Copies of this chain bind each other. A is one copy, B any other.
Amino acid sequence: MSPSLPSNAMRLAGRPTPDLILDEARMRRNIARLRQRLAPFGVVLRPHIKTAKSIDVARQLLTDGHGPATVSTLREAEALFETGVTDILYAVGIAPHRLERVQALRARGCDLAIILDSVEQAQAVAAASGAAAIPVLLEIDCDGHRSGLKPDDEQLATIGRILEEGGASLRGVMTHAGESYSARSIAELEAFAEQERLAVVTAAQHLRAAGLPCPVISVGSTPTAHFARNLDGVTEVRAGVFTFFDLVMAGIGVCTLDDLALSVLTTVIGHQADKGWVLCDAGWMALSRDRGTQGQAVDQGYGVVCDADGRPYDNLIVEAANQEHGIIALRPGSVEPLPDLPVGTVLRILPNHACATGAQFDAYTVLPADGGPLAVWPRFRGW
């Protein structure tokens, strides 16, 4: 940035706190980085909107305005569709009572696909398809993280047949390496990525061997998307939190603190000098209760403290959080003195988990990449 431009601290001066700040330049860099990384593999990037829940962010994430996109709620799908996004994967196992809403969106021209992993769901989807086949990806469990069928489960073909013969449409397979969030080395990240790939490629082989179609082979998580060395057989990659990154991702080595595009603006409201505490007005209502770094090598408490320009204090974290109070303190074992942060000082907190912290706010206050005036980008929520 040219020295003649105002600093971010100056641009943010006078904002009410707590506030959710989005550094657009960093976000653009994060998006460009993953696009560039995946380009040589010839796969489609299907960004997950669950992190940003914002039409303005989706415009930068989605290549041509029509998708492809991944969502975690039908509310996200409906909001995206209103702005012209038509290629959407709803990547949470379908509950039968939601099929009416799925069909309503599809009837309006949205190519919304769903996922499932059981015979009972497949029967419900076939029944709901009628004359209008609902496209389905079978969810595969690659790491024991949550849902999905094992890659060689014989139910795969059974479910595929229920769909295809019942009037629905088997579009392929998908998996999510949620356990990659616990990786502790580059080698482990690469191994998770290969495990993810192998799971869906294997499942696809079983389906094809049973004479079933499997055009889409979808994998995805931010860690594996950044460390996969081989994506043979994979047609698309999903990822969400890479849009903003966060301390959990920095903790497993997927990004550095300089990549974190989201922070919470806060004001110092008090001190407990004898304890080395600085109290600020970002409590868990602003930061969320997420403690995702608790099990990592470096526990970041409720977040890393930065000055108003976004420069981290090496040894300062939000040690504890009440509803509207954050308690800032030196990291355990730190020998440096507490910096002088009088009442009224404005700080920024880097969050553990961008999805959770973002959800505490109704909008982003955006530091635009072009250095222009602050913008406000609404977020949506609910289901």
Contact = CB atoms under 8 A, between A and B. Distances in A.
A343 B355 CA distance: 27
A322 interface: yes
A97 to B, nearest CB: 7
Contacts of A323: 50, 72, 355
A327 B279 contact: no
B269 A343 contact: no
A330 interface: no
A281 interface: yes
Interface residues of A, number: 60
Contact of A279 (B73, B96, B146, B286): B146
Contact of A289 (B18, B141, B356, B383): B356
Nearest to A277: B146
Interface string A260-292: 000000011111100101010100111011110
A322 B91 CA distance: 13
Contacts of A96: 343-344
B95 A269 contact: yes
A138 to B, nearest CB: 12
Contacts of A360: 359
A47 interface: no
A322 B178 contact: yes
Work out how many copies of this chain go into the complex. Answer: 2
Interface stretch (A115-123, A158-166, A196-204): A115-123
Contacts of A117: 270
In this complex, the member of A18, A93, A291 whose beta carbon has the largest number of chain B beta carbons within 10 angstroms is A93
Contacts of A344: 95-97, 120, 124
B356 A121 contact: no
B383 A146 contact: no
A284 B353 CA distance: 12
Interface of A: 14, 16-18, 50, 72-73, 92-97, 116-118, 120-121, 124, 141, 144, 146-147, 178, 267-272, 275, 277, 279, 281, 284-286, 288-291, 320, 322-325, 327, 342-344, 353, 355-356, 359-362, 381-383
Given A92-B324, A120-B343, 15 more contacts: A16-B383, A50-B323, A72-B285, A96-B344, A116-B270, A121-B270, A121-B343, A146-B325, A146-B327, A147-B269, A147-B325, A284-B356, A286-B383, A289-B289, A289-B290
